[in-house]
Amino acid sequence: MSDPVLEVSGVTKTFGALLACNKIELDLQPGEIHAVIGPNGAGKSTLIKQIAGEQKPDSGTFKFAGHNIDILSASQRARAGLVRTFQISSLAGEFSALQNVMLAVQGASAHTFRFFKPVQSDMSLVEPAMEFLKNAGLEERAHTAASELSHGERRQLEIAIALAMQPKAFMLDEPMAGIGPGGSKVLTGILDQLRQQAPILLVEHDMDAVFSLADRISVLVQGRNFATGTVAEIRNNQAVRDAYLGEEVAS
């Protein structure tokens, strides 16, 4: 294996008496889709929040692109290329599609505290943003408010934004939440577009999608990383079946 893009080592997090994460070890290799699954309350969301920098672990460290990122804030991690995307209602609704992407280009460029030059004529923002929109097929809708876009268009906008962040890794937290049937097809489309750019850490409930798309899978149970392996390894792991997957995978 080559050097991992993201490395989680020994991460522990407690909320009062509740042990949400228990010495979790995890890594993300270049080019792969690594899915994290587990029952509700297994600590998936808590783990993602800690990687993103929204919560601080009690102990343990995160390495990203070869550097320790423990002291970086959430926004600094995002700027470093650790891109978290497809959160619930994650667009700036009043902004146009273009402004949403411009904000991402601006964030990645790390030059926010400029007060006088109008952004509309700031070609170092507008041009790349238009390029990303074009690639996402939203050129026509550049000046439409994000809140007025269709569901499909919003997903495309999310992709444009994620790509505009000059990502080195993606984190997707339940991108299918609320989509309903046919979700795995949509997810396949999204992942195909993103994986060309960077590896993906995916948290997802939909088992069919996970097993058909992921390269590797980690199973969290009660805050512990119960098992990590390829799809086949996990499918055939008796302990995982007993603990969690049960009939669902067997069928």
Site residues, other proteins (CB under 8 A): 52, 54, 73-76, 78-80, 83-85, 87, 89-95, 99, 102-104, 106-108, 110-120, 122, 125, 161, 165
Shortest approach of other proteins to residue 157 CB, angstroms?
11
In this structure, the number of other CB atoms found within 10 A of the CB of residue 167 comes to: 22
Q: How far does Cα 93 stand from its chain's mean position?
A: 20
Q: What is the DSSP letter of 145?
A: B
| Sign of the torsion angle spanned by Cα atoms 110, 97, 86, 90 | positive
- Cα distance between residue 50 and residue 74, in whole Å: 9
Shortest approach of other proteins to residue 118 CB, angstroms?
4
Shortest approach of other proteins to residue 249 CB, angstroms?
32
Smaller CB separation from other proteins, 30 or 93: 93
Shortest approach of other proteins to residue 102 CB, angstroms?
7
Smaller CB separation from other proteins, 17 or 116: 116
What amino acid occupies position 87? Answer: Q
Q: How many CA atoms lie within 13 A of 239 on its CB side?
A: 9
Q: Which position has the token pair 């990203």?
A: 64
Smaller CB separation from other proteins, 145 or 231: 145
Query: Per the structure block, which two tokens stand in for 155?
Result: 């997903």
Smaller CB separation from other proteins, 95 or 135: 95
Smaller CB separation from other proteins, 124 or 212: 124
Shortest approach of other proteins to residue 79 CB, angstroms?
3
3-state SS, residue 160: helix
- Cα distance between residue 96 and residue 99, in whole Å: 5
Shortest approach of other proteins to residue 53 CB, angstroms?
9
- Contact yes or no for 85/172 (Cβ under 8 A): yes
Smaller CB separation from other proteins, 26 or 52: 52
